[in-house]
Structure 1
């Protein structure tokens, strides 16, 4: 019978996949010139990073020896969400004054 720890690990594994999908879809829906306007990598580069990160989150697990790849995927997706996404929103919204 699985222990509580197994259920927690499975919950973490499944909870981060929608985060990766969100990051990829958000990058997909943004204008390509917005990425260069914020002095970040290009849109295709971020699509590759977020897509690869999401694939790593889906293919590898938090609870076994593939955790290194899982963490790399999570870091890639979170960098987009925390650093790139707010700047994209700001540059596309424009000056509100």
Structure 2
């Protein structure tokens, strides 16, 4: 018998589209958590944002709640999505600017004006 092109056949290991969204949301939370964990503590103070232990505690609590609770549509899951979004959209660009990595990318600063002799 010919197998139909269903979601389970195209993406083995995933139960359905909700499961794919769960993995995407978990990845979003993990990216925010790892980024906050590897930033220096002084950058958070210089950017006038919440402290590093505060962000790491918030992001790790909501990431672990998604892993052990199993759902992202719960109350804590939705708050975790908002917390990771706030970190990635608001705090991360401010932290990058405070650490000297603005829009130039990769820490390379562009020189303006004529080259010195």
Tell me the equivalent position of 1:75. Answer: 82
Q: What TM-score does the superposition give when structure 2 sets the normalisation length?
A: 0.68
Q: Deviations over 1:56-82 (max 9, x none)?
A: 33233145xxx2121011111111111
Question: Rg larger in 1 or in 2?
Answer: 2
Q: What TM-score does the superposition give when structure 1 sets the normalisation length?
A: 0.80
Q: How does 1:27-42 map to 2 (within 5 A)?
A: 27-42=36-51
CA contact (8 A) 2:25 2:72 kept: no
Q: How many residues align?
A: 91
Bigger fraction of residues in helix: 1
Gaps of 5+ in 2: 1-6, 8-14, 103-108, 113-117
Runs of 4+ in 1 over 6 A off after TM superposition: none
Gaps of 5+ in 1: none
Bigger relative contact order (CA 8 A; separation at least 6): 1
